[in-house]
Amino acid sequence: MRWRLALLVAAAMTLVLLAFLVPLALLLRGVAADRAVSAATTQAQSIGVLVATADPQSLRLAVEQVNVDARRPVTVYLPDGSTVGPAVGQTPAVRLAARTTSFSVEHADGREVLVVVQGLPQGTAVIRVFVPRDELRKGVARAWLVLALLGVGLLAVGVAVADRLAVMVVRPIRTLATVSDALAGGDLDRRAPAAAGPPEVRAVAAALNQLAARIRDLLRHERERVADLSHRMRTPMTALRLDAEGLRDQDEAARILAHVAALDDAVTAVIEDARREHDLPSCDATAVVAERIRFWTVLAEDQQRPVEADLPDGPLPVAVSAADLAACVDALLGNVFAHTEEGVAVAVTLDPRRVLTVQDAGTGFDPAAGARGVSGAGSTGLGLDIARRTAEAAGGTLTVDRSPLGGARVTVTLSALTEP
């Protein structure tokens, strides 16, 4: 935008300078020609006085003195047919002037100035002064060079001023763009300077700041609302814990209490995640996936499901929080346990390239499933959406296709943790 504004000003100034300098250059050329013709006419008139008053010898000496400067040669055509000065034959203009009056005529190589002296005893004498084209344009080239330099200088000054003005406009706009990118990246505390740039840019900056503040307030309100809703779940969990403690079968009570504790941890993680604003989520994918596999293996043993796990030997950092990754794994494994028959095998693979794959040997489901609220098995359709949003939040993707085992295969691609 900055260079476009400078180019626009340069084009406008070029048109203005051409409209001003071209007529001025033509005027200067005309003035130079008129000056040369005027000087030649004055010179011819001075010789005309001598033609009318001086003797032939004095006239010849005067003409020779004038012709010492050969820039404008002078020739006098006397009434008796003789000439004084350079021997130049009578031109049509000389013959015409002898019958009429004084005038000048333009030629390809200069201008012919003719002055008539009448009232002589022998008749009419004609004085011819020839002004070469170089004399007619004397000083014109220098004047045109000065005008050209002046035009270039004015154009350069105009473009420089336009560039400075463009900077005053473009710089605040670039600042607005930077702030917008920061807001899009989640930094809702960034604000644009409201006192920079022209009034229109300042108005946009003020509107952007108001929008950022409004978005931040709405997000905080939603976080608190989610935290409040999650906290309300603690009351039924407390009742469930009390009921479990009242069971006579201690093993059954311990199992239910463990599930209640896990649910309590999940609710706590939701509350903490809802109130978390500025952090760089990360976790060891190997440890999180292994822990969730151990959790689901207990239920798999009850249902006689073979569980195959293939995990990296060492840590595998990914750009997602442990709670989100655990929720993703739980959603994928929960789909397998909920929508396949008991005894159906399940396999979990975590590739060192940060690719998580969950597949089963069931009947599979529609690959179009996974959109929020869309399910191929009569459920709410939120499980795959949770996994998809976890992958996208980490800069990855989620795909659904057919597994070599015969059932469904869900592949979640995560991204590596990068330093800020």
Highest mean pLDDT among 13-17, 176-180, 232-236: 13-17
Strands (E), 91-167: 103-107, 110-120, 123-132
- What separation in angstroms does the CA of 340 have from each of 327, 330, 333, 346? 20, 15, 11, 10
More confident residue, 166 or 281: 166
Q: Would you say residue 371 has pLDDT above 60?
A: no
pLDDT in tens, 150-186: 999 999 998 888 888 887 777 888 888 888 888 877 7
Q: Would you say residue 234 has pLDDT above 70?
A: no
- How many CB atoms are located within 10 Å of the residue 8 CB? 12
Q: Would you say residue 188 has pLDDT above 90?
A: no
pLDDT at 180: 84
What the block records as the tokens of 321 is: 């929080």
Computed over its alpha carbons, how large is the radius of gyration of the chain?
50
Q: Would you say residue 341 has pLDDT above 70?
A: yes
- What separation in angstroms does the CA of 401 have from each of 123, 192, 335, 357, 405? 120, 46, 15, 11, 12
Q: What percent of the chain has pLDDT over 70?
A: 89
Q: Would you say residue 276 has pLDDT above 70?
A: no
Question: Which residues partner with 410 through β-bridges?
Answer: 358, 400
Average pLDDT over residues 262-272: 73
Q: Would you say residue 248 has pLDDT above 90?
A: no
- Cβ-Cβ contacts under 8 Å for 14 (sequence gap 6 or more): 155
Q: How many residues does the chain have?
A: 420
Mean pLDDT of the chain, nearest integer: 82
What the block records as the tokens of 269 is: 């993680």
When pLDDT is cut at 50, 70 and 90, the band that residue 265 belongs to is confident
pLDDT at 205: 84
Is the overall model pTM greater than 0.85, yes or no? no
pLDDT in tens, 46-67: 888 888 887 888 888 888 888 8
- Separation CA 217–CA 222 (nearest Å): 9
Among the residue ranges 120-129, 144-153, 375-384, the one predicted with the least confidence is 375-384
Q: Which long-range contacts (CB under 8 A, 24 or more apart) does 208-213 make?
A: 208/176, 208/179, 208/180, 208/183, 212/179, 212/183, 212/188
